[in-house]
Amino acid sequence: MVEIKIQKVSQTRIKKYLEENSNIFIPPLITRIDIVEFSGKIYNNAIHFCAFDNHKLIGFLASYFNHPLKKFGYITTLSVTLEYQNKGIASKLINEAFCYAVLNNFNRIRLEVHKNNLNAIDFYKKKGFEFIEVKKLSYIMEAIIII
């Protein structure tokens, strides 16, 4: 049974998860970031929303909520392992992030998505995200949270 939790996981576990699932991202995560450095930033600064199946990390959303005056959070990564995709896990993770935002007086969440990641863009649109900025290779999207 899949469980969704807000639970801090170790930097080692984050690193391993991101390395094992790098190819889920478009383009692959390992081709554009230093995973060791990135996992350290996530471990030290982000809220971890995790999906587990029998203690195995199968979905992960990391979000920063360190701008209380700006009232927006920022999703830095959201992924679900290949074998668990299309089962509603990403929706559950993002809904948990929305609830966390509301409980902590944030009314918006932003993220950046690569222009070629059409499945992710469609998913984010369904979750209420809209384009707010166009960059060379990506879009910044934002959702106004109403729960």
**Each residue's pLDDT tens digit, 75-95:** 999 999 999 999 999 999 999
Q: Is the peptide bond before 27 cis (omega within 30 degrees of 0)?
A: yes
Q: Which H/E stretch holds residue 141?
A: strand 138-144
> Looking at residue 68, what is its pLDDT?
65
Q: What type of residue is 99? A: C
> Looking at residue 146, what is its pLDDT?
76
Give dist(CA 118, CA 116) in Å, integer.
6
> Looking at residue 45, what is its pLDDT?
95
* Total-model pTM: 0.94
Q: What is the pLDDT of residues 1-39, one digit of tens each?
A: 899 999 999 999 999 999 999 999 999 999 999 999 999
User: Is 117 in contact with 80 (CB distance < 8 Å)?
Assistant: no
pLDDT tier, 147 (very low <50, low <70, confident <90, very high otherwise): low
